[in-house]
Amino acid sequence: MNDKSETVEENQSLTHFLDRAEDRFTNAPIGILFNQEKSYALQLFAANEYLEKVALKSPFSLLAAMSNVASIGLSLNPAKKQAYLVPRKGKICLDPSYMGMVDLAIQSGMLVFVQAKIVCENDTYTNKGVDREPVHEYSPFGDRGALIGVYCVAKTARGDYLTTEMDKAKIDEIKGRSESGKQGKGPWMTDYNEMAKKTVMRNAFKTWPKTDTMDRLAMAVELSNQNEAFESLVTSPELDQYTDEQKKYFDQMIESSDAIGMFCFIQSIDAGIYMALYNSFASDITKYKRIVGDLEKSGGAQVLDCKQEIESLVEAEDEMGAKQVIEDLSTEAVNFIIDKTDDETRKFIQGLGE
3-state secondary structure of 27: coil
Does residue 141 sit within a domain? yes
The answer to whether residues 249 and 302 belong to one domain is yes
Q: Is the predicted pLDDT of residue 304 greater than 70, yes or no?
A: yes
Q: Check residue 353 and give its pLDDT.
A: 67
How confident is the model over 82-101, as a mean pLDDT? 89
The answer to whether residues 126 and 195 belong to one domain is yes
Q: Is the predicted pLDDT of residue 231 greater than 70, yes or no?
A: no
Q: At which of 68, 96, 124 does a domain end?
A: 96
pLDDT-derived band at 10 (thresholds 50, 70, 90) equals very low
The answer to whether residues 151 and 188 belong to one domain is yes
227 backbone dihedrals φ, ψ, rounded to 5°? -65, -35
Does residue 250 sit within a domain? yes
The answer to whether residues 113 and 87 belong to one domain is no
Q: Which residues contact 251 (CB under 8 A, 6 or more apart)?
A: none
Total number of domains in the chain:
3
Instruction: From residue 345, give the alpha-carbon distance in Å to each of 260, 277, 316.
Output: 20, 34, 11
Q: Is the predicted pLDDT of residue 130 greater than 80, yes or no?
A: no
The answer to whether residues 324 and 250 belong to one domain is yes
Does residue 249 sit within a domain? yes
Q: Check residue 75 and give its pLDDT.
A: 95
Does residue 226 sit within a domain? no
Q: Is the predicted pLDDT of residue 119 greater than 70, yes or no?
A: yes
Q: At which of 96, 123, 148 does a domain end?
A: 96
The answer to whether residues 48 and 122 belong to one domain is no
Reading phi first (left if > 0) and then psi (alpha if -120 to 50, else beta), residue 92 is in: beta
The answer to whether residues 92 and 106 belong to one domain is no
Q: What percent of the chain is modeled with pLDDT above 70?
A: 90
Q: Check residue 271 and give its pLDDT.
A: 61
Q: Check residue 203 and give its pLDDT.
A: 86
Q: Check residue 214 and give its pLDDT.
A: 76
pLDDT-derived band at 11 (thresholds 50, 70, 90) equals very low
* Dihedral, 192, 189, 140, 164 alpha carbons, nearest 10: 10
Q: Which residues does residue 91 pair with via DSSP β-bridges, in sequence order?
A: 88
Does residue 10 sit within a domain? yes
pTM for the predicted model, two decimal places: 0.59
Does residue 237 sit within a domain? no
Q: Tell me, what DSSP letter sits at residue 13?
A: -
Q: Check residue 66 and give its pLDDT.
A: 93
139 backbone dihedrals φ, ψ, rounded to 5°? -95, 115
The answer to whether residues 111 and 175 belong to one domain is yes
* Dihedral, 111, 113, 116, 119 alpha carbons, nearest 10: -130
Residue bearing the bigger pLDDT, 268 or 241: 268
Rg over alpha carbons for the chain, rounded to the nearest Å, is 23
The answer to whether residues 185 and 140 belong to one domain is yes
3-state secondary structure of 297: helix
Task: Give the Cα separation of 196 and 262 in Å (integer).
Answer: 28
Please give the mean pLDDT across all residues of the chain.
Answer: 84
- pLDDT tens column, 25-44: 988 888 999 999 999 999 99
Q: Check residue 233 and give its pLDDT.
A: 28
How confident is the model over 43-61, as a mean pLDDT? 90
The answer to whether residues 249 and 344 belong to one domain is yes
- pLDDT tens column, 134-151: 999 999 898 999 999 999
- pLDDT tens column, 274-302: 767 877 887 777 778 788 888 888 888 88
Q: Check residue 45 and give its pLDDT.
A: 92
Q: What percent of the chain is modeled with pLDDT above 90?
A: 30
59 within 8 A of 7, measured Cβ to Cβ: yes
Does residue 219 sit within a domain? no
The answer to whether residues 108 and 196 belong to one domain is yes
Instruction: From residue 179, give the alpha-carbon distance in Å to each of 67, 95, 182, 237, 335.
Output: 23, 14, 5, 19, 34
Q: Render 319-348 in DSSP notation, one character per residue.
A: HHHHHHHHHTS-HHHHHHHHHHS-HHHHHH
How many Cα atoms within 13 Å fall on the side-chain side of residue 257?
Answer: 0
Residue bearing the bigger pLDDT, 200 or 339: 200
248 backbone dihedrals φ, ψ, rounded to 5°? -65, -45
Per-position b or e across 146-170, b if 16+ CB within 10 A of its CB:
ebbbbbbbbebeeebbbbbbbebeb
Give the domain extent around 170.
99-209
Could you list the beta-strand ranges (E) of the chain. Answer: 83-88, 91-96, 111-120, 124-126, 135-137, 147-156, 161-167
Q: Check residue 277 and give its pLDDT.
A: 82
Q: Check residue 215 and give its pLDDT.
A: 82
- pLDDT tens column, 176-230: 888 777 777 778 888 899 999 999 998 888 888 776 667 888 888 888 877 775 4
The answer to whether residues 123 and 29 belong to one domain is no
Task: Give the Cα separation of 292 and 209 in Å (integer).
Answer: 9
25 within 8 A of 32, measured Cβ to Cβ: yes
Does residue 305 sit within a domain? yes
Q: For the chain, what is the total number of helices (H) and then of strands (E)?
A: 17, 7
